[in-house]
Structure 1
Amino acid sequence: MTIAQQERTAIAPHGFDVEVTSGLERFSAQHGELTLTSVFQPIFSLSHMRAVGYEGLLRAHDALDRPVSPLDVFGEAARLGDVLQVDRLAQTLHLENFKVLGAEREWLFLNVHPGALTDPYLAAALLANLKRLDLSPRRIVLEVLEQGAEDLERLVDAVRQFRERGFLIALDDFGAGHSNVERIWQLNPDIVKLDRIMLSHAAHRADMATILPGLVALLHEAGKLVLIEGVETEHEAQMALGCDADFVQGFFFGRPNPGAADAAHATTCISEVTDRYRDQSEARERRNGSRLTPYLRAFERAAERLAAGEPLEEVCWNFLALDHAARCFLLDAKGKQAGRNVVLRADRAAHETRFLPLADAQGANWLRRPYFRAAINAPERVHVTRPYLSINEALPCVTLSVATRVGEQTCVLCGDIDWVEE
């Protein structure tokens, strides 16, 4: 052991050892017959294209050097009523190993049991460790583990106090178990980590793939940064980019490791995925543009005929004859619908009977809809919405709209298109 390693061992907490593997110092500790140590999984910012943090993860081996699952370690600790002591031991290990990791500006994401936050002694021990290691609380993201807190009010108060000291707070495993929207309002985290199960569902189900970007947008509107964990494939990485997540974590970008992330590899990986995402997005936009072209031509012609004085029921037939055209309708300058929806096909009318209470839209007010506001703000040109859920049948649709003069009145002609991503 070198003099420097002897000095590190001398100042290490009682019961900790310093081992050197491939030139890298690493602290370990004994817990019964188990040897515990840390690895760190990098957390990347997709925009910065580099690691901005590391999550400390426990690794355990038995007396025969066989790996033991961390779940088993904590499960046995819970059975023996020792979970808070093991949680504290893991925190201390991660802090010691993070200090020798060499990270100068990145965060350490530290999993903490709610009881470790509400217990004054354990909270004081965490602060003492940071002071001893000369680590600012601003470098630490406390991940509140997904489980019910026996005293939620105490947890909320403890989280507030830690935040006032400079810590960041992350809500872990959002979308699973107790981590739901209510917990966001209760704990007011800085970062929300989406549980891997949500990404896995989105990768295999079209409806979930549509929901994920909206969920990220909702969290952003609530003032929370979003981290998607468990990214393991190129497809999942593309989904994380597509839903505008702030941070990613997972095997695709970087595996847990005793050392720091390979910065050059990370930049190359994220850059290549971003380039492919851009190419795929541009190709999809071109396909959608081609797909919309016949609808736009028919709709523009319908608007011209409407402005020339022909009745709505006559001008829309060419548009409605296209395969996925759903309906046409006319709004006045205040967004109020004049007349009923114009529907061409009998199968469309039969399908709409499932939503019969919504079928008669005469007199409805669509003032809030983006297609109305866009048309009024820029008249005499056709506007195309992003896909959204139509109230008529609870199906995705795209709406074309144009504000034009019909006699002495300004009207907005609208046409809906069923929109299933191809």
Structure 2
Amino acid sequence: MTIAQQERMASAPHGFDVEVTSGLERFSAQHGELTLTSVFQPIFSLSHMRAVGYEGLLRAHDALDRPVSPLDVFGEAARLGDVLQVDRLAQTLHLENFKVLGAEHEWLFLNVHPGALTDPYLAAALLANLRRLDLPPRRIVLEVLEQRADDLERLADAVRQFRERGFLIALDDFGAGHSNVERIWQLNPDIVKLDRIMLSHAAHRADMAAILPGLVALLHEAGKLVLVEGVETEHEAQMALACDADFVQGFFFGRPNPGAADAAHAMTCISEVTDRYRDQAEARERRNASRLTPYLRAFERAAERLAAGEPLEEVCWNFLGLDHAARCFLLDAKGKQAGRNVVLRVDRAAPETRFLPLADAQGANWLRRPYFRAAISAPERVHVTRPYLSINEALPCVTLSVATRVGEQTCVLCGDIDWVEE
């Protein structure tokens, strides 16, 4: 053991051992018959294409050097009423091993039991360890675990105090169990970690995949950075890119390891998946543009005929005759609908429709809709919305719109297209 290693060993908490494997130092500790140590899973910024943090994860082996699941370690601790002590031991191990990891600027993500945050003694012990290791609080992201907190108000107050000291706060496993939107408002985290189960559902269900970008956008609007965890396949990596997540974590990008992430491998991996995402996005845009072309031509012709004085009911038939055209309608300069929707397909006009209360849109005001605002802002030009949920039938829809002069009045002609991704 070198002099430097001896000095680190002397400064480590009582009961800790240090071992050197393949030139890498690692602290371990005994807990009953178990030997505990740390590994670190890198957390990557998709934009920076490098690791910006590491999550400390517990590893345990029994007296015969057989691996023991961390869930079993904490499960047994919970059974014995010892979970906060084991939580503190794991934190201390991760801090010791993070110090020798060689990370100069990255965050350490520490899983913390809610009870450890609200216990003054355990909170003080964490701060004392940071001072001893010369790690500033700004390097630490406290992950509030997905567990029921008996006193959520007390937990929120503790979280606020830790943030005031410079710590960052992450809400773990969002979308699972007790980790929900209410906790975001109560705990006000800096980072929200989307639970793996959400990504898994989105990978197999188109409707769930469509929800992810909106969920991330909502969290961004609330001032939260978003981390997608459990990314194991390229398809899931593509979804993380598509939903505009800030950070990713998972086997696809980097497995838990005692050492630091391979920077060159990480940059290559993220660069390649980003390039493929760009190529796929561009191909999808070309397909959508081709798909829209006949609708745009028919809609532009309808607008010309409307401006020439022909009635709405006569000008829309070519547009409505296309396979997925749903309806046409006309708005005045204030967004109010003049007349009923013009439809062609018999099933849309059937009175038995489940959405019959919404069928009569005469007099409705669509001032808030992006298609109206875009048309009024740039008249005489056809605008195309992003896919959104139509109120008419609760189905994905794209709306074409154009503001034009009809006699002495400015009107906005609109045409809806059913839009199921192909």
- After superposition, the C-alpha distances for 1:296-355 in whole angstroms (9 at most, x for unaligned) are 000000000000111100000000000000000000000000000000010222387110
Contact 1:37/1:59 (<8 A) preserved? yes
Give the equivalent residue in structure 2 for 1:354.
354
Q: Secondary structure at the match of 2:376?
A: helix
CA contact (8 A) 1:336 1:366 kept: yes
The percent identity for this pair of structures is: 96
- Give the C-alpha shift of residue 8 in structure 1: 1.7
Matches within 5 A, 1:28-47: 28-47=28-47
Q: C-alpha deviations, 1:164-190, integer Å up to 9, x for none?
A: 000000000000011100000000000
2:401 alignment counterpart: 401
CA distance in 2, matches of 1:191, 1:328: 44
Question: Is the Cα–Cα contact under 8 Å of residues 352 and 359 in structure 1 kept in the other structure?
Answer: no
Instruction: Map residues 266-277 of structure 1 onto 2, 5 A cutoff.
Output: 266-277=266-277
In structure 2, distance between residues paired with 1:154 and 1:314: 66
Question: Shift of the alpha carbon at 1:5?
Answer: 2.0
TM-score by length of 2: 0.99
Q: Could you say which residue in structure 2 is the equivalent of 1:4?
A: 4
* Cα displacement string for residues 104-156 of structure 1 (whole angstroms, at most 9, x for unaligned residues): 00000000000100000000000000000000000000000001111111111
1:3, CA displacement in angstroms? 2.5
Deviation at 1:99, TM superposition (A): 0.1
Q: 1:188 to 1:26 in 2, by over 3 A?
A: same
> What is the CA deviation profile of residues 20-41 of structure 1, one whole-angstrom value per residue up to 9, with x for unaligned ones?
1111000000000000000000
Tell me: CA distance 1:227–1:167, structure 2 relative to 1, closer, same or farther (3 Å).
same
| SS across alignment from 2:28 | strand
C-alpha change, 1:100 and 1:419, in structure 2 (3 Å) is same
1:327 match: secondary structure: strand
Q: Is the 8 A contact 1:352 1:392 kept in 2?
A: no
TM-score, normalization by structure 1: 0.99
Separation (CA, whole Å) in 1 of partners of 2:383 and 2:3: 73
- The structure-2 alpha-carbon separation of the partners of 1:352 and 1:38, relative to structure 1 and needing over 3 Å to count, comes to farther
8 Å Cα contact 1:352-1:393 kept in structure 2 = no
Cα distance in 1 for residues equivalent to 2:134 and 2:25? 18
The CA distance in 2 between the partners of 1:144 and 1:63, in whole Å, is 31
2: distance between equivalents of 1:347 and 1:251?
Answer: 48
Deviation at 1:60, TM superposition (A): 0.2
For residues 318 and 382 of structure 1, the distance between their equivalents in structure 2, rounded to whole angstroms, comes to 17
Structure 2 partner of 1:24? 24
- Partners of 2:351 and 2:259 lie apart in 1 by 59
How many angstroms apart in 2 are the aligned matches of 1:391 and 1:268? 44
Pick closer, same or farther for the CA change 1:242–1:351 going to 2, 3 Å: farther
CA–CA separation in structure 2 for the residues paired with 1:238 and 1:308: 48
Partners of 1:223 and 1:398 in 2: how far apart?
A: 29
Paired residues, what number?
422
Is the partner of 1:259 in helix, strand or coil? coil
Listed one character per residue, the Cα deviations across residues 262-313 of structure 1 (whole Å, up to 9, x for unaligned) are 0000000000010000000000000000000000000000000000111100
CA contact (8 A) 1:401 1:413 kept: yes
Report the Cα distance in structure 1 between the residues aligned to 2:387 and 2:166, rounded to whole angstroms.
Answer: 41
Partners of 2:21 and 2:419 lie apart in 1 by 56
Whether the 8 Å CA contact 1:329–1:340 is kept in 2: the answer is yes
Give secondary structure in 1 for the equivalent of 2:340.
strand
Q: Return the alpha-carbon distance in structure 2 between the equivalents of residues 138 and 2 of structure 1.
A: 31
The 5 A counterparts of 1:94-243 are 94-243=94-243
Query: Does structure 2 conserve the Cα–Cα contact (< 8 Å) formed by 1:142 and 1:168?
Result: yes
CA distance in 1: counterparts of 2:6 and 2:147, whole angstroms: 40
C-alpha spacing 1:25/1:55, structure 2 compared with 1 (3 Å): same
Give yes or no for contact 1:109–1:143 (8 Å, CA) kept in 2.
yes
Alignment partners' CA distance in 2, 1:242 and 1:406: 41
Cα drift, residue 10 of structure 1: 1.3
Separation (CA, whole Å) in 1 of partners of 2:82 and 2:183: 26
Cα distance in 2, alignment partners of residues 236 and 351 from structure 1: 43
Q: Secondary structure at the match of 1:405?
A: strand
1:188-224 C-alpha deviation (Å, 9 max, x unpaired): 0000000000000001000000000000000000000
- Deviating runs (4+, > 3 A) in structure 1? none
Contact persistence 1:227–1:245 (CA under 8 A): yes
Residues in 2 aligned to 1:83 and 1:349: alpha-carbon distance in whole angstroms = 63
Unaligned 5+ residue runs, structure 2? none
Q: CA RMSD, aligned part only?
A: 0.7
Distance (Å, rounded) in 2 between the aligned partners of 1:132 and 1:7: 13
Query: Could you tell me how far apart the structure 1 residues matched to 2:320 and 2:101 are?
Result: 64
Q: What is the CA distance between 1:6 and its match in structure 2? A: 1.9
Aligned mates of 2:232, 2:123 — CA distance in 1? 34
Partner of 1:74, secondary structure, is: helix
The CA deviation at 1:249 is 0.2
User: For 2:161 and 2:194, how far apart are their aligned partners in 1?
Assistant: 24
Alpha-carbon distance in 1 for matches of 2:233, 2:244: 17
- Rounded to whole Å, the distance in 2 between the matches of 1:190 and 1:113 is 18
Rate the CA distance shift 1:352–1:162 in 2: closer, same or farther, 3 A: farther
Deviation at 1:376, TM superposition (A): 0.4
* Distance (Å, rounded) in 2 between the aligned partners of 1:295 and 1:263: 48
- Counterpart secondary structure, 2:126: helix
Secondary structure of the structure 1 residue equivalent to 2:341: strand
Task: State the SS of the aligned residue for 1:171.
Answer: strand
Q: Describe the shift of the 1:420–1:116 C-alpha distance in structure 2 as closer, same or farther (beyond 3 A).
A: same
